[in-house]
Amino acid sequence: MTARTSVGRRELWRILQPLVWPRRRALAGVVLLFLARSLTVLATPILIGQLIDDVIGNAPQATWLVVGVLVVVALTGAVLAWLSARTLAVTVEPIFAELRETFVRSALMLPRSAFDATGGGDMLTRASEDITQLSEDMPSVLPRLLSITMSSVVIGIGLGTQDWRFLLTLVVVAPLLLLTLRWYLRVGPDTYASERNAQATRGRHLLDTFRAEATVRAYHVEKVQAERVRRAAWEHLRWALRTRIVQNVLMGRITFAEFSGLAAVLALGTWIAMSGDATVGTVTAAVLLFQQIMEPLSEFLTITDDLQSASSSLNRIAGIIEISRSEETDSSGSESRYDAEDAIAAGPDLVSLTGVGFAYPGGRPVLSGIDLRLPADGHVALVGATGSGKSTLALLIAGALRPGRGTRTATVADDRIISVTQETHVFAGTLRENLTLAAPGADDARILTALEELGAGNLVSDCPDGLDTRIGHDGHQLSPAAAQQLALARAHLARPDLLILDEATAEAGSADATGLDATARATIRGRAALVVAHRLTQAAECDHIVVLDRGRIVERGSHEELLALNGRYADLWQVWSANR
């Protein structure tokens, strides 16, 4: 599954409606303020035309009266411009804030398969650059768009009141502007969408390169990966340059349309004035009004460029939200079930898999015919060669993936199943905040007791400010072993009903392995656990061992039973023991 770069209008409105509709009265007030501001814009050219006629007609009293009214209109317009922009910002900014929250929540709720298919780099680009682009463009575009809409209508009416013939100039301008808009709508959206996609591809390659840096070096494919990044960067640059070309062509067409219209209104005004059908002030007012109406119309085409940029970002954000909602809808008919009644009855199995098969999109089957039960007490180990499907099976048990076929039944909610993998993350914040991430109610006494139970008191003692020490980015740096201890302690504090350790201590060096294994044993003590074992000594300590081979369960039983069977597990144990 790949996250869509755009969504339909109905889908987009379905996403925005809960954010916009509760603020409909405030938005209506904003429209009225912009309408009032447009009236002051209309009044200014008309008053200037009247002022010219009064000066020519040598009417000083009327002249000063018009000057006074002009000052009042200018001040009123300035106040309305400030008030309308401020009111719009106060009304709209919370909408963008809630949209960002909805996006992050939707991204975090995506099934693992959907997240992996989208790609970490693409997701990061949507969460950072697209959100930033939307936040920067929309607050500037919306006030201008409202002002343009109101001003164009009001000033167009005012131009007609001076002399209906002045409206004929729009016959010259309108086709030029419409052709420009038609050209831009044909070229612009696809160009911006392609530029955003190229940006996401570049981000994905960069992220994958840094994430897999050790693998890249190990296989000596630095040049290959660098070439991928180079091609992605140049592809993004190519589309970025094309967007600049589109912008420059747009500006040229707008300038030509404005010049043509101004020449037409000057010629028509001169003819009307020479025929005696209008005063000099009326012609001046008409010219100024035409400039006033051309300014918003030209600006509309200008902000269409910003609007397309923001729209492209909005559609990419909405694509993730829509996928998340689609997944929620699809999950109602999924073959992964949580039986609340069984949970109340505290049945013997927390999770059971029956005839489960799974394949990643576009790939071969990873698991086939899996029948497995996770009891409410005891520890189950998964053993198998690399690529046998252990981690995928762990994700299915955790509810992070849904079966492609077969049934997953759980008597415990998925949020009561916690997984700890070899990939740990230290969040920017204090040591306390990192430890209580999944247990926000835990006080210092509970934290220290938990660390003591796990034999991980060094986490606090090695930090200069104890639990108040800032760790993570730009903070105190934890060693890999300490980061893994942190992940295990975090899981312990959450008190899960089922704990899954997916090679949680695999990255430990020989000096840290013993201590981390002791912490892992203490973490699963007294609770149901699934252990994906990378050292067979860990499997030997579990109550039940399941052996996977090429996506199928080939053996199961206790350590002693499997050794007596003299099968696949016995072979693995013999090799493991010889290399210890």
Q: What is the pLDDT of residue 335?
A: 46
The DSSP symbol for 7 reads -
469, 431 in Cβ contact below 8 A?
yes
Q: What is the pLDDT of residue 351?
A: 93
CA gap 401, 114 in Å, rounded? 9
For 365-382, the pLDDT digits (tens) are: 899 999 999 998 889 999
Is the whole-model pTM more than 0.75? Answer: no
For 523-544, the pLDDT digits (tens) are: 999 999 999 987 888 899 999 9
Which amino acid, 414? D
Q: What is the pLDDT of residue 162?
A: 62
Q: What is the pLDDT of residue 427?
A: 85
**HEC profile of 361-423:** CCCCEEEEEEEEEEECCCEEEEEECCCCCHHHHHHHHHCCCCCCEEEEEECCCHHHEEEEECC
Q: What is the pLDDT of residue 77?
A: 84
For tokens 């994700």, name the residue: 395
Spatial neighbors of 211 by CB under 8 A, at least 6 apart, are 120
Contacts 24+ apart (CB under 8 A), 509-512: 509/480, 509/481, 512/479, 512/480, 512/481
Residues of the chain predicted below pLDDT 50: 1-5, 329, 331-347
Q: What is the pLDDT of residue 343?
A: 39
Which amino acid, 576? W
